[in-house]
Amino acid sequence: MKYSKLIFYAIFLLLISLSIFLANVLNFLSTDIKLSADSASDSDDHIKVTDTTNNLIWFLQISDLHLSIFNDASRITEFNEFCHDTIDAIKPSVVLATGDLTDAKDVDGIGTKQYKEEWQIYKSILDKTKVEDKTIWLDIRGNHDTFDVAGLDSPQNLFTNYSVQGYNHSRSYMYQVRKENNLYTFIAIDASLNTGPRHPFNFIGIVDEQEIIKISSFIQRTENSTSKNTIFYGHFPTASIVSKGWKNIREIIGKHNRGLAYVCGHYHTLGGLVDRMYTLQKEGFLELELVDWKDKREYRLMAIDHGILSFTDIHHGDWPIVLITMPKSALFHNPSKENLEVLRNSTHIRILAFSIAKIDIVEVNINKGEWMTGRQVEGPLFVIPWNPLDYATGLHKIEIHVRDFEGREKFSSQTFSLDGTRVPFSLWSNLFLMVHANILFSLLFYLLIAILVLPLLVTRYAFGSVKATGEHRRILRKYGSIPLFEKIWILSRLDRIFWPTIFYPIYLIVGPWTIGYLVEDHIGVVFAWGIFVNGTFIPDGLAYIYGSFELVTFQLPLTIILANAVYQRFYDLKPTLGKTPSFLSKLCLHLVFTVLLLIQLIFSYMFWLEYGGMALLFSVIRTWSVIVGTVLIYQASHFPQEWIK
């Protein structure tokens, strides 16, 4: 009875803890925001939107180019096309290049370092296509651009000499663009590591106090100027930025009354899990992650039309391009920064249409009504008269058809509202853009450790004394139907196997994982919670994922193999119990362990390619796990009778 109560209380406490955690996560993922007294919706600045090009700017974003001298040459050739054909057709005022400009990976795709040839290719394309004569090119570093870079003054920091902005702006900077009578501000947030380890321990960005002060000063200058709107941009999503200072980066962005959005890259599609990651942060700004150029060849067209931000993500070479700026998509309403009265007072539907050939026709319908043909005003702007009072409440659907003179066509649609009715973002988008990566990664890591350690500890201390009391047969009859229970029970009684099995995952929480040359010629130490290298502490959350991968691919299967091995050995020593294992079952068990060992050796080889011999020699998570695992499996298969208590 006491064992049942112990298990019940353990499960009850676990469920309570999970419930509290999930409640906090759901509250955190809420996109409800508080409107301030000076929010956009309360503004007195009611601009009349008509059929002119006044108060309109459009610009592009491209991210995660990963230009490589070893892999996928089409990234380079198509980037050249983007800089020539796409920019010539769209004529953006600004292009935001948000990091990972080069790939910085070896020919094997494992080792990482800066290659001057990749940076020269990046610069040569920009020079050859005369990008700087056609637009304002605002580039910024990503984590790949800092692989194996010891500092801003390092010769390996090639961003300084081969980017457009790097020579004048080593980190965050501000750029203001005047379009007609309006001033627009673009603030770059560089969260890349000053000391950048090689892959994979270079995933989380850091904004230190000095950088926070600088960004805050940019915002202050903007608010003291005539600038109407601000776009923040950087490589890292805010969920993967650690802030060191009196405020975190979301609070800094959110407090800027004119800051419409933060645009970034870095996550790609998270291995195909999420193709589009957008959210409205609680602090009151849109966060828009852009799918990569590396594999997906996507870029983003954005426009600010009378203070209203609209955008569309586009696959390279997909023409024509169309963006409805009035009325904007209901998914991206931002009540704290945008004035809905602008939409409600507009006299025309406003559309930007681009192609490599002249646009022939632009037409729309609303709620499956009659098609209405647009009139070209100037450049890419097409307008259609409408009465917004006809759509004053609820959600409505606008469909658009665009065709150029060479017969290319585009059909698209979006939902809009004029009363502030919003469409929810996807759960995955909210999860990955709102919950900090360190929290998600560490939760997974500690959950896996709990799965590995707690069953063994509970079994040992809940049922450890049953043999002495003569109750072991009753316990096995009662709980023996639970998968692995008897095997875990036997393993928990063998001290020389039990203690190393639970010590290893616990050690990963507190002890160093490896020591080696992590950045250029600098020796560093890796822990689960961060890295010490070159006199710097780097709280890189990817270590948790790296450790989680080790636990799933090696430690968890090793524990299962050990449990089966001690089970077989136990009944070898107790032939009278009638469960003597067959030769085939023993052979299968050792074959499985051999495969597991080979996989771990492959990972160890990859680790050697990444960080060298010293890191491999002192690697607890790679080298020593193989040695300890081999010793344990031998002991589990050959332990003597006297080990059984």
> In terms of CATH architecture, what is 31-434?
4-Layer Sandwich (3.60)
Handedness of CA 466, 467, 468, 470 (dihedral sign): positive
Neighbours of 472 (CB within 10 A): 15
Cα-only R_g, the chain: 30
pLDDT above 80 for 422 = yes
What integer pLDDT is reported at residue 237 of this predicted model? Answer: 96
Mean pLDDT of 467-492: 64
Predicted confidence (pLDDT) per residue in 594-622, tens digit = 999 999 999 999 889 888 889 899 999 88
pLDDT above 70 for 476 = no
Peptide bond between residue 200 and the one before it cis (omega within 30 degrees of 0) = yes
pLDDT above 70 for 16 = no
Residue closest to 490 by CA, chosen among 581, 566, 585, 578:
566
Neighbours of 264 (CB within 10 A): 33
495-510 and 556-573 helices, crossing angle to 10°: 170
Mean pLDDT of 554-580: 85
**Pairing assessment for the beta strands 321-326 and 348-354 based on DSSP bridges:** antiparallel
What integer pLDDT is reported at residue 262 of this predicted model? Answer: 97
Query: What is the enclosing helix (H) or strand (E) of 185?
Result: strand 182-189
What integer pLDDT is reported at residue 25 of this predicted model? Answer: 55
pLDDT band at 30 (very low <50, low <70, confident <90, very high): low
Q: What is the DSSP string of 218-235?
A: HHHHHHTSS--EEEEEES
Mean pLDDT of 413-441: 89
Residue closest to 128 by CA, chosen among 68, 169, 76, 59:
76
Q: Are 371 and 68 in contact (CB under 8 A)?
A: no
What is the share, in percent, of the chain residues with pLDDT greater than 70?
A: 88
CA distances from 7 to 4, 10, 13, 121, 454 (A): 5, 5, 10, 62, 11
| 569 or 362: which leads in pLDDT | 362
| 585 or 37: which leads in pLDDT | 585
pLDDT above 90 for 40 = no
Helix ranges (H only) for 335-384 are 340-344
Q: What is the SS3 assignment for 537?
A: strand
What integer pLDDT is reported at residue 362 of this predicted model? Answer: 97
C-alpha–C-alpha distance, residues 294 and 64, integer Å: 6
Q: What is the SS3 assignment for 130?
A: coil
What integer pLDDT is reported at residue 108 of this predicted model? Answer: 85
Predicted confidence (pLDDT) per residue in 372-404, tens digit = 999 999 999 999 999 999 999 999 999 999 999
pLDDT above 50 for 23 = no
pLDDT band at 239 (very low <50, low <70, confident <90, very high): very high
pLDDT band at 502 (very low <50, low <70, confident <90, very high): very high
Mean pLDDT over each residue of the chain, to the nearest integer:
87
**Pairing assessment for the beta strands 381-385 and 348-354 based on DSSP bridges:** antiparallel
Tokens 């590396």, residue? 294
pLDDT above 60 for 27 = no
Q: What is the DSSP string of 252-304?
A: HHHT-TTEEEEEE-SSTTTTTT-S-EEEE-TTS-EEEEPPPSTTT-EEEEEEE
Mean pLDDT of 210-220: 93
Q: What is the pTM of this model?
A: 0.87
CA distances from 304 to 260, 570, 602 (A): 9, 73, 51
pLDDT above 80 for 45 = no
Predicted confidence (pLDDT) per residue in 84-109, tens digit = 999 999 999 999 999 999 999 999 88
What integer pLDDT is reported at residue 58 of this predicted model? Answer: 97
What integer pLDDT is reported at residue 467 of this predicted model? Answer: 55
pLDDT above 70 for 128 = yes
pLDDT above 80 for 9 = no
| Cα atoms found within 13 Å of the Cα of residue 335, Cβ hemisphere only | 15
pLDDT above 60 for 24 = no
pLDDT above 70 for 219 = yes
Mean pLDDT of 317-326: 96
Mean pLDDT of 196-224: 90
pLDDT above 60 for 180 = yes
Q: Are 600 and 629 in contact (CB under 8 A)?
A: yes
What integer pLDDT is reported at residue 93 of this predicted model? Answer: 97
pLDDT band at 37 (very low <50, low <70, confident <90, very high): very low
What is the distance between the terminal CA atoms of the chain, rounded to a whole angstrom?
23
pLDDT above 60 for 471 = no
pLDDT band at 20 (very low <50, low <70, confident <90, very high): very low
Predicted confidence (pLDDT) per residue in 281-301, tens digit = 999 999 999 999 999 999 999
Q: Are 371 and 346 in contact (CB under 8 A)?
A: no
pLDDT above 90 for 482 = no
pLDDT above 70 for 499 = yes
| 287 or 244: which leads in pLDDT | 287
Structure tokens at 638: 């050959």
pLDDT above 80 for 220 = yes
pLDDT above 80 for 164 = yes
Structure tokens at 85: 């054909």
pLDDT above 90 for 582 = no
What is the share, in percent, of the chain residues with pLDDT greater than 90?
A: 60
C-alpha–C-alpha distance, residues 267 and 278, integer Å: 12
pLDDT band at 466 (very low <50, low <70, confident <90, very high): low
Q: Are 323 and 310 in contact (CB under 8 A)?
A: yes
C-alpha–C-alpha distance, residues 401 and 386, integer Å: 17
Residues in CB range of 457: below 8 A, 6 or more apart = 492, 502
- Which range (23-32, 475-484, 491-500) has the least confidence? 23-32
Tokens 């270590």, residue? 543
DSSP code for 425: P
Neighbours of 171 (CB within 10 A): 20
Structure tokens at 44: 């007195």
Phi/psi zone of residue 396: left (φ > 0), alpha (ψ -120 to 50 degrees), beta?
beta
Q: For the chain, give every domain's residue range.
A: 1-30, 31-434, 437-643
